[in-house]
Structure 1
Amino acid sequence: MKLTDLKTMDERLDLLDQTAANFLDRARKYDEAGSFPFENFAELKKINYSALAVPKEYGGLGISLYEMLKMQETIAQYDGSTALSIGWHMGITKHTGETNAWDRATYEAFAKDVLEKGTLLNNAATEPATGSPTRGGRPETVAKEIENGWIINGRKSFTTLAPILDYISVSASIDGTDKVGSFLVRRELEGVEVEETWDSIAMKATGSHDLVLNDVKLNKQDLLMYITPGDKAAQGWLLHIPACYLGIAKAAQKYAIDFATSYSPSSIKGTISEIPAVRQKIGEMELRVLESSTFLYSIAKKWDKGDEETRNAMKAELGAVKLSVVNKALEIVDLAMRIVGARSLSAKCPLQRYYRDVRAGLHNPPMDDMTIMGLAGSSIQKHT
């Protein structure tokens, strides 16, 4: 059975949950080895998950942002690395198709590969010298125009999904001009290499290695668009990031409650879930989960229902969701670890992995300081 064969969101979520449940037992293995979970992606491919975000006009299911976030959260409850990784493909595929950001023929060819082969896409924009592209740095990767196309050279860091990507959208400065372009690079091209540099202690199984481009020859039409680094309109698809960290937080919450309702030291009658201090922490976790879920999905619904004008005005709100949900996820995991105690620091306990993984959310876009400045500007404009 494939997700694209099912008629309702609930049916699709149920099949995805059954599939992603297999990821839970593997998560520790991949985390400890720092290796890439090819098995997980093979199973997602089998149920045609990567095709859900392709718009209907290109043959996909064209799911709503709300549904995409629900699915991403579901995967994250079993393996955060897999969820964050596939979330980039899902979001970019959805956004690119809906906004007609690429030439139609280029997107049609890409969509066909996604539908038939489970092809995966991600952006490659961050560089060692320029840092996050959200800060507006000009790429050191350079594309030089030649008679029949382009030659591109450079290095990109944090290229999530690197071991399995088929298409990469690469930002590059255009030689001899002040322009920056986004170029479509296919993995099989000569000169495209992945250098295994990913040594983070968080999200270890995302395969976020360096992408190295050595005299890679592209066609004229592989220039997808001109871009302005750091100048981003409101992008609802980026909510896949807080959805992922909310899923991890819910996994931590479940583990802590299962522990609290089953652990009965000899010093007490019943389980520790009956101790007021423990119940306080359980209640605080639930409060944060409710706040995060309500905020995330109410904004997702607003995005789905909104027209272009409404969506363009949502940048501050989208950033606020990411900041709020990620920071509450950190608090939820911390509370879970306090409930479980010293055992939470055991290498065998998933809470220590959840703790490391949720901290990665602080470094996903948009950054907290930029969000706060955006909210300040929005508030001043609203009240003057």
Structure 2
Amino acid sequence: MKDLFIKTKQQHHWMGQLTSIAEQIKAQAVEVDEQSRFPFEAHKLLLQIGYPKLTLPKEYGGEGLSVYDMVLIQETLASYDENASLSLGWTLGVVGEIYEKKLWSDNLLETFALEVKKGAIVNRAVSEAATGSPTRGGRPGTNAVATSDGWLLNGRKIFTTASPVLDYFLTSAWIEEKEQIGFFLIHKDVQGVSIEENWEMSAMRGTSSHDLVLKDVIVSKDYLVELPNHPSGGKINGWILHIPATYLGIAQAARDYALHFANHHQPNSLNAPISTLPNVQQLLGDIELKLHQARFVLYGVAEAYDDAVRRNTLTNEMAVAKHTVTNLAIDIVDKAMRVVGAKSLQLTNPLQRYYRNVRAGLHNPPMDDMTIIKLATAAIEQQKLNENK
């Protein structure tokens, strides 16, 4: 079915690039999960094909992939190794957003593009233990104070995904003198920057989302790069769709396993594989239906975002796509496990990994409850406007 969504030569090219390294990435995925370690092999292979510069615009020397292209690539990578997809997808999303919206100065955009072309990995470091998700509007405890040498930063960030390979941390901090949150671009080698390896999760164990610790870190004044009016940026951002794309990839992998199992598993009580049984066909049909639903929602929203005219009409569609795809993906994995039965819970079975990891999507932004409340609020306000016309 996914072939329906591959439309350009560029997409075919990058799908081919991923296919060429697929087996090597898949071979490490089990070990990455079992050892709760970062997928360094996948990272190295992806660097070799130029992954970090995929969403860097062509005028800056990148590949210029659109949001739609990114979703296609991310979903495919996640079907090989979801830890690698979620970890490195943040770089694609951050780079895509920064350059599309021109969030930084022209000089810094030019300079940073050189780093990205050399393979730099970047992620936003925003979550904190006291605030939870930054999209809920909490003020960060990390603080920045102006000094004669630049900005002095102190604080701690949690959920710093891909921390072992991050070259840059785009870190939020409260600037008291401005009474505002700012984002600072911090290189990994700056004095006072350290990673506390404390990622102990049952899901997405290979993302190595350890704590980032900033102790008396001095940052040049030029590296206060963003002063958003809203903690989450405020503007519609299609580049966050790399998140649901990853969970859709997990669902695809679970479907593929369950379908293969159903076509080859034949208990001695049957004269044919279990794929001939009506109850199994019902489960497989439901899986196919939900995959179609998820894919059309995700790619439809991505396509709308990439259209400059249609983008102006979007409101809550990114959140709708994330909510829809993530919850459908969870359901798909559950049904795949029902097809396979108790064997799906064996530690040697990939479905138990997919089951743990797909649920992590519920805790990536935006959260389900916020999406539902925003939709309700928008509907209520629109009704009021209609009545007043």
- Look up the equivalent residue of 1:315 and give its one-letter code: T
1:97 aligns with 2:99: yes
- Look up the equivalent residue of 1:253 and give its one-letter code: R
Q: Deviations over 1:94-116 (max 9, x none)?
A: 1101111011211211111111x
1:276 aligns with 2:278: yes
Q: Deviations over 1:91-137 (max 9, x none)?
A: 1101101111011211211111111x211000000001111100100
Contact 2:28–2:41 under 8 Å retained in 1: no
Residue 222 of structure 1 deviates from its aligned partner by 0.6
- Look up the equivalent residue of 2:222 and give its one-letter code: Q
Q: Deviations over 1:51-73 (max 9, x none)?
A: 11101121111111111100000
* Residues 36-51 of structure 1: pairs in structure 2 closer than 5 A: 36-51=38-53
Which residue number in structure 2 is paired with residue 354 of structure 1? Answer: 354
Q: Deviations over 1:116-174 (max 9, x none)?
A: x2110000000011111001000100111001311100000000010010011000001
Which residue number in structure 2 is paired with residue 301 of structure 1? Answer: 303
Aligned residues: 376
Residue 232 of structure 1 deviates from its aligned partner by 2.2
Residue 7 of structure 1 deviates from its aligned partner by 5.7
1:324 aligns with 2:324: yes
- Look up the equivalent residue of 1:162 and give its one-letter code: S
The TM-score normalised by the length of structure 1 is 0.96
Secondary structure in structure 2 of the residue aligned to 1:143: strand
Select the residue among 63, 85, 92 that pairs with 1:83. 85
Secondary structure in structure 1 of the residue aligned to 2:199: coil
Select the residue among 55, 64, 89 that pairs with 1:53. 55
Residue 313 of structure 1 deviates from its aligned partner by 4.1
Stretches of structure 2 that go unaligned for 5 or more consecutive residues are 1-7
Stretches of structure 1 that go unaligned for 5 or more consecutive residues are 1-5
Which residue number in structure 1 is paired with residue 121 of structure 2? Answer: 120
Which residue number in structure 1 is paired with residue 199 of structure 2? Answer: 198
- Look up the equivalent residue of 1:161 and give its one-letter code: A
Measure the CA separation in 1 of the matches of 2:73 and 2:232: 29
Residue 315 of structure 1 deviates from its aligned partner by 3.2
Measure the CA separation in 1 of the matches of 2:51 and 2:62: 10
Contact 2:149–2:218 under 8 Å retained in 1: no
Which residue number in structure 2 is paired with residue 3 of structure 1? Answer: none
* Residues 1-384 of structure 1: pairs in structure 2 closer than 5 A: 8-115=10-117, 117-227=118-228, 228-230=230-232, 232-307=234-309, 310-383=310-383, 384=386
Measure the CA separation in 2 of the matches of 1:100 and 1:214: 30
CA RMSD after TM alignment? 1.3
- Look up the equivalent residue of 2:159 and give its one-letter code: F
Measure the CA separation in 1 of the matches of 2:244 and 2:71: 9
Q: Structure 1 stretch 360-369 or stretch 224-233: which is displaced more? A: 224-233
Residue 18 of structure 1 deviates from its aligned partner by 2.2
Secondary structure in structure 2 of the residue aligned to 1:354: helix
- Look up the equivalent residue of 1:184 and give its one-letter code: L
The TM-score normalised by the length of structure 2 is 0.94
Secondary structure in structure 2 of the residue aligned to 1:315: coil
Contact 1:233–1:315 under 8 Å retained in 2: no
Secondary structure in structure 1 of the residue aligned to 2:234: coil
